[in-house]
């Protein structure tokens, strides 16, 4: 049973912000939201995670709504190298289940 | 730089052969995982381990087996490879606890002919 819902694909212009949404309406109080990306067929790469507060690191920002039912990953200045599949994951117990993710295409 | 290593990176092997895919990590992580991913498709958890001598089957049924004799090493074995086993196999590790993320290896792309 799916814990997260993401759009299957999105486009973004190079240099613009990419905002990737994720719905997780059944999230529990102690479950973290994680974001990973997978470039081509490489192993997934960790981006960011959060519990209830907004988070920012050198790669991205994570905005979590107050009710925690959805979140948005923001890549502030997308480059062509950000083209990848982005996975939003709610950590279930101790294991991660990856859904289909969002295929982000950054266009020149 | 990666602290989790998978070998080989690519493998083409004939039907019926026994193969072992290697996964090692240098981070001292207790938890390790194997995922299977067909091209353009989702990752499916096939095996995981919470520590030495601990192994569990994941969501996707797999004919492969795993072992965890040392903390740093989590090999996956196929006793008799078949074309249906053709896929990418990704290994990951993490600390115990939901606050910790996974570190993935680069994967092994297996082709059985």
Give the max Cα distance, chain B: 42
**pLDDT above 80 (res A93):** no
B-chain CB neighbours of A9 within 8 Å are none
Give the count of beta carbons closer than 10 Å to the beta carbon of residue A25: 11
The answer to whether the Cβ–Cβ distance between A43 and B107 falls below 8 Å is: yes
Interface of A with B in 2-61 (CB under 8 A): 30-32, 34, 36, 41-46, 49
Q: Over chain B, what is the mean pLDDT?
A: 92
Phi and psi of A70, rounded to 5°? Answer: -155, 165
* Residue of A12, A29, A28, A30 whose CA lies nearest to A20: A12
**pLDDT above 80 (res A92):** no
DSSP state of B64: -
* Residue of B75, B35, B36, B69 whose CA lies nearest to B54: B69
- pLDDT of B72-109, one tens digit each? 999 999 999 999 999 999 999 998 776 778 999 999 99
- pLDDT of B49-62, one tens digit each? 999 999 999 888 88
* Residue of B93, B79, B80 whose CA lies nearest to B35: B93
> How far is the alpha carbon of A47 from chain B, nearest alpha carbon, in Å?
9
The answer to whether the Cβ–Cβ distance between B43 and A34 falls below 8 Å is: no
């Amino acid at each position: 049973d799916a814990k997260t819902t993401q759009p299957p694909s999105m486009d973004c212009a190079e240099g613009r912000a990419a905002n990737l949404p994720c719905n997780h309406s059944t999230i529990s109080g102690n479950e973290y939201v994680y974001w990973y990306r997978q470039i081509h067929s490489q192993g997934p790469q960790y981006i960011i995670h959060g519990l209830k507060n907004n988070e920012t690191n050198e790669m991205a920002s994570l905005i979590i709504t107050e009710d925690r039912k959805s979140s948005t990953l923001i890549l502030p200045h997308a480059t062509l190298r950000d083209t990848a599949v982005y996975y939003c994951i709610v950590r279930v117990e101790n294991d991660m289940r990856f859904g289909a993710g969002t295929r982000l295409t950054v266009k020149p | 730089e990666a602290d989790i290593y998978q070998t080989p990176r690519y493998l083409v092997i004939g039907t019926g052969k026994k193969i072992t895919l290697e996964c090692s990590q240098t981070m001292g992580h207790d938890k390790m995982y194997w995922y299977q991913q067909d091209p353009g498709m989702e990752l499916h958890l096939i095996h995981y381990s919470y520590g030495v001598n601990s192994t569990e089957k994941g969501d996707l049924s797999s004919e492969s087996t795993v072992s965890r004799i040392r903390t740093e090493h989590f090999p996956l074995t196929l006793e008799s490879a078949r074309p249906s086993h053709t896929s990418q196999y990704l290994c990951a590790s993490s600390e115990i606890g939901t606050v910790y993320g996974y570190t993935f290896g680069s994967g092994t792309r297996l082709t059985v002919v």
